[in-house]
Amino acid sequence: MRIATWNVNSLRARLDRVAEFLQRHEVDVLAIQETKVKDDKFPRERFAELGYEITFHGLNQWNGVAIASRVGLEDVTVAFPDQPGWGDEPVVEARALGATVGGQPRPDGTETPRIRLWSLYVPNGREIDHPHMEYKLRWLDTLAAHAEGWAGEDLPLALVGDFNVAPLDTDVWDIAAFEGLTHVTEPERAAFQGFLDRGLVDVVRPHTETDTFTYWDYQQLRFPKRQGMRIDFVLGSAAFAEQVTGAFVDREERKGKGASDHAPVIVDLDPTTEGAP
């Protein structure tokens, strides 16, 4: 089974690219972040034409998450328990969507495992001293606490999406350029480490080079200069990680007119494989 995650930075603006990506890579399940579309405007028909079931959650022109699957989609959950809200009168934003995927054969008839998948768009944090940073840290800590319990349940667990944290110095092009900025601070990295301390595994890193990035800012020619960040992840429970046979970042999707500022992250699973790297 092939699972992908992609912050598309406006789904309607990049719908053709998403459709072509799904077909080119024969993706079975795609978790999408930053859809930027209300539910009543979501282009569900396009996914149906491609053979995908789709679930989505969007409240306004910001944020938004979705999951598309051609191998089964059930038990949808909007937001995780106690998900922190944002604002003077806190609103639980459209940043987390869970579903059980798999359990149906791929188009070629091969077996697919059932996976509990969460599509996640972690708050940005904005600035180190901004209230949004405190919101971000609470959001991550609350999610990590729940993930520990989810990882012990029957289904393999995958938390996928844009975490807006670069856990290692090598996850940015030049750590000196980030002095005083978000995404690389010790509190953010500690919050990310909280997932690993609770038994989740970064299943992509072992299959990619040290300088593999997933995000390049549109400004200052960051992409052609190779000045990127690794902030999009697939974190899996032990039961998920042992099925992983490969992973890669499709850097080509960051090229060309109308590209998102993020590249898709793709993971391959084989339910008959135990102890896969």
Tens digits of residue pLDDT in 142-161: 999 999 999 999 999 999 99
Task: At 91, give phi and psi (nearest 5°).
Answer: -110, 130
pLDDT of residue 149: 96
- If one counts every other C-beta atom within 10 angstroms of the C-beta of residue 264, the result is 28
Q: What are the tens digits of pLDDT across the range 238-270?
A: 999 999 999 999 999 999 999 999 999 999 999
What SS3 class is residue 211? coil
Question: By percentage, how much of the chain surpasses pLDDT 70?
Answer: 98
Q: Number of C-alpha atoms within 13 angstroms, CB side, residue 179?
A: 2
- Pick the residue with more confidence: 102 or 274? 102
Question: In this predicted model, what pLDDT tens digit does every residue of 205-236 receive, in sequence order?
Answer: 999 999 999 999 999 999 999 999 999 999 99
pLDDT at residue 61 in the model: 86
**Rounded to an integer, what distance in angstroms lies between the CA atom of residue 116 and that of residue 240?**
9
Instruction: Report pLDDT for 275.
Output: 43
- Least confident window among 70-74, 107-111, 194-198: 107-111
Query: CA torsion sign, 2 to 201 to 133 to 253?
Result: negative
107: helix, coil or strand? coil
For the cut 70, the answer to whether the pLDDT of residue 277 exceeds it is no
Q: Give the pLDDT score at 276.
A: 39
